[in-house]
């Protein structure tokens, strides 16, 4: 491995508690005041034996992670850094398979009036095992080292997460085990930490007491979900299971929000790209269907313009009005910049989008859905069936004129009966498209 990149060398140990790491770079009082140690327990078990792992972190490692020099926090950083990770296996509680089975059995017994099944006796085979890791990072300042993420500057917790996540990815590649991605929000939001002053020869003398660093996703992890109206859920269930295109679009949008909230920014941006393209393609399909074109002819219209941006530029404005320029500052221009370009960059480079990119993509996707729905509502006399299969009463209430609102709602109700016909036509259109591809 190139010496300018992060280096990782494994030092295996036995079952005894690992000794405190020492490193010659740590005993330079002009560089470092001490070492911050951060403790994490993972949601899963890595196929690693307990071991100590020295890691060299330099500018190149941070550059690959997308950190610019302006994001270096000089209050605690002194590059390069010589860090350590000490891995162990944490065993506590009951294996989730056994625990979840017991909970399911208890729920079934409660509903059916049966006696709950007895829990299995405690046994090592039924214990939950996860990987735990303590990361040691040399720092210039005790106070700065124990500060959570702030002001867009790189902090020790974020660096520790990256090192653990990269070790997780490396283990996944080496073992081909189905190890999930370790997103930031998958970390326990309460991180135990302690500071150690560096003595002569690099010996570390830790504080007598631990402290904790609270991460920003703590409130969401502790909060209970808002109650859901069963009637609303039932109505959506019916629409979803009957192939409603508008509900399918909302499903992808909701999935993107869940992925962003879980910290999976790559998946969120890709789901938002699907959301927008599905809405745009379905709108075009609905209009071609309502114009009386066959599925085969409509598929050729779709295929004659090879890209989604090309279709947006040439096939929508004449039918729905409004500004569909993909190079301006309108909804379509922002869609091209914040979703299409980001999605293409993610796919072609393999990178992970930033938090800001993921947030912007979500806001822009919502704007696009609103824009297309508004255009359909305003063109209700020309494309009443298309409006009915892609919009609901809330869109009419929001975008329809007060004078025409009752008429638009009545037309929406009348044309909703054509949804089944459209869905069958769309299935054929998709098959014809595949044949042309």
What is the C-alpha separation between 397 and 412, in angstroms, rounded? 12
Angle made by CA atoms 115, 120, 124, in degrees to the nearest 5: 165
**pLDDT tens-place values along the chain, 437 residues long:** 222 233 333 333 344 444 555 555 665 666 788 999 999 999 999 988 888 999 999 999 999 988 999 999 999 999 999 999 999 998 887 788 888 888 899 999 999 998 877 776 667 777 888 999 999 999 998 888 887 777 788 999 999 999 999 999 999 999 999 999 999 999 999 999 999 988 777 678 899 999 999 998 999 999 988 999 999 999 999 999 888 999 999 999 999 999 999 999 999 999 999 999 999 999 999 999 999 999 999 999 999 987 999 999 999 999 999 999 999 899 999 999 999 999 999 999 999 999 999 999 999 999 999 999 999 999 999 999 999 999 999 999 999 889 999 999 999 999 999 999 999 999 999 999 999 86
**Which residues are 82's β-sheet partners?**
56
What pLDDT, on the 0 to 100 scale, is given for residue 19?
54
Identify the pLDDT of residue 24.
Answer: 52
pLDDT of 7: 36
Query: To the nearest 10°, the Cα dihedral for 421, 378, 279, 396?
Result: -80
**So what's the pLDDT on residue 127?**
81
Q: Report pLDDT for 95.
A: 83
* pTM greater than the 0.85 cutoff: yes
Pick from 208, 182, 184: nearest CA to 196 = 208
Structure tokens at 383: 């494309």
CB burial string 351-374: b at 16+ within 10 A, e below: ebbeeebbebbbebbebbbebbbb
| Cα–Cα dist 130/338, whole Å | 38
- The CB-based long-range contact list for 270-275 (8 Å cut-off, 24+ gap) reads 270/343, 270/346, 270/347, 272/339, 272/343, 272/361, 272/362, 272/364, 272/365, 273/339, 273/340, 273/343, 275/249, 275/365, 275/369
Three-class HEC string of the chain? CCCCCCEECCEECCCCCCCCCCCHHHHCCCCCCEEEEEEEECCCCCCCCCEEEEEEECHHHHHHCCCCHHHCCCCCCCCCEEEEEEEEEEEEEECHHHHHHHHHHHHHHHHHCCCCCCCCCCCHHHEEEEEEEEEEEEECCHHHHCCCCECCECCHHHHHHHHHHHHHHHHHHHHCCCCCCCCHHHCCCEEEEEEEEECHHHCEEECCCCEEEECCCHHHHHCCCCCCCHHHHHHHHHHHCCCCHHHHHHHHHHHHHHHHHCCCHHHHHHHHHHHHHHHHHHHHHHHHHHCCCCHHHHHHHHHHCCCHHHHHHHHCHHHHCCCCCCCCCCHHHHHHHHHHHHHHHHHHHCCCCCHHHHHHHHHHHHHHHHHHHHHHHHCCCCCHHHHHHHCCHHHHHHHCCCCCHHHHHHHHHHHHHHHHHHHHHHHHHHHHHHHHC
Q: Do 42 and 92 form a contact (C-beta atoms < 8 A)? A: no
pLDDT at position 20, please? 53
Both tokens of 416, joined, read 């909703």
- The confidence score (pLDDT) of residue 21 equals 55
CA distances from 258 to 109, 160, 255, 262, 413 (A): 32, 25, 5, 6, 32
């Amino acid at each position: 491995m190139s010496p300018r990149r992060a280096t990782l060398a494994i030092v295996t140990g036995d079952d005894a508690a690992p000794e405190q790491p020492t490193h010659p770079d740590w005993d330079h009082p002009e560089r470092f005041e001490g070492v911050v140690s951060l403790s994490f327990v993972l949601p899963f078990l890595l196929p690693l034996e307990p071991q100590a792992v020295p890691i060299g972190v330099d500018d190149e490692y941070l550059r690959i992670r997308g950190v610019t020099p302006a994001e270096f926090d000089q209050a605690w950083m002194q590059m390069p850094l010589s860090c350590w990770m000490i891995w162990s296996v944490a065993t506590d509680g009951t294996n989730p398979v056994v625990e979840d089975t017991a909970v399911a059995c208890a729920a079934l017994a409660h509903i059916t009036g049966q006696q709950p099944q007895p829990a299995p006796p405690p046994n090592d085979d039924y214990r939950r095992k996860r990987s735990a890791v303590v990361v040691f990072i040399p720092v210039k300042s005790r106070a700065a080292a124990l500060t959570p993420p702030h002001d867009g500057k790189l902090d020790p917790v974020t660096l520790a997460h990256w090192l653990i996540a990269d070790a997780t990815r490396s283990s996944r590649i080496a073992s081909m085990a189905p190890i999930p991605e370790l997103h930031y929000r998958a970390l326990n939001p309460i991180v135990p930490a302690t500071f150690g002053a560096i003595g002569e020869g690099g010996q570390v003398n830790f504080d007598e007491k631990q402290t904790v660093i609270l991460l920003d996703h703590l409130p969401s992890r502790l909060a209970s979900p808002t109650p859901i109206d069963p009637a609303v859920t039932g109505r959506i269930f019916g629409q979803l299971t009957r192939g409603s295109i508008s509900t399918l679009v909302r499903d992808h949008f909701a999935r993107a929000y869940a992925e962003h909230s879980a910290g999976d920014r790559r998946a969120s941006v890709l789901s938002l790209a699907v959301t927008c393209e599905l809405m745009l393609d379905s709108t075009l399909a609905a209009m071609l269907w309502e114009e009386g074109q066959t599925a085969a002819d409509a598929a050729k219209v779709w295929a004659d313009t090879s890209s989604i941006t090309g279709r947006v530029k040439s096939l929508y404005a004449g039918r729905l009005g409004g500004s569909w320029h993909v190079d301006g500052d309108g909804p379509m221009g922002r869609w091209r910049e914040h979703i299409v370009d980001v999605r293409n960059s993610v796919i072609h480079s393999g990178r992970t989008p930033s938090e800001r990119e993921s947030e912007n993509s979500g806001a822009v996707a919502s704007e696009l859905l609103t824009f297309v729905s508004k255009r359909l509502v305003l063109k209700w006399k020309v494309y009443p069936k298309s409006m009915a299969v892609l919009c609901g009463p809330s869109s009419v209430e929001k975008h329809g004129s007060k004078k025409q609102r009752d008429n638009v709602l009545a037309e929406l109700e009348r044309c909703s009966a054509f949804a089944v016909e459209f869905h069958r036509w769309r299935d054929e259109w998709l098959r014809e498209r595949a044949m042309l591809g």
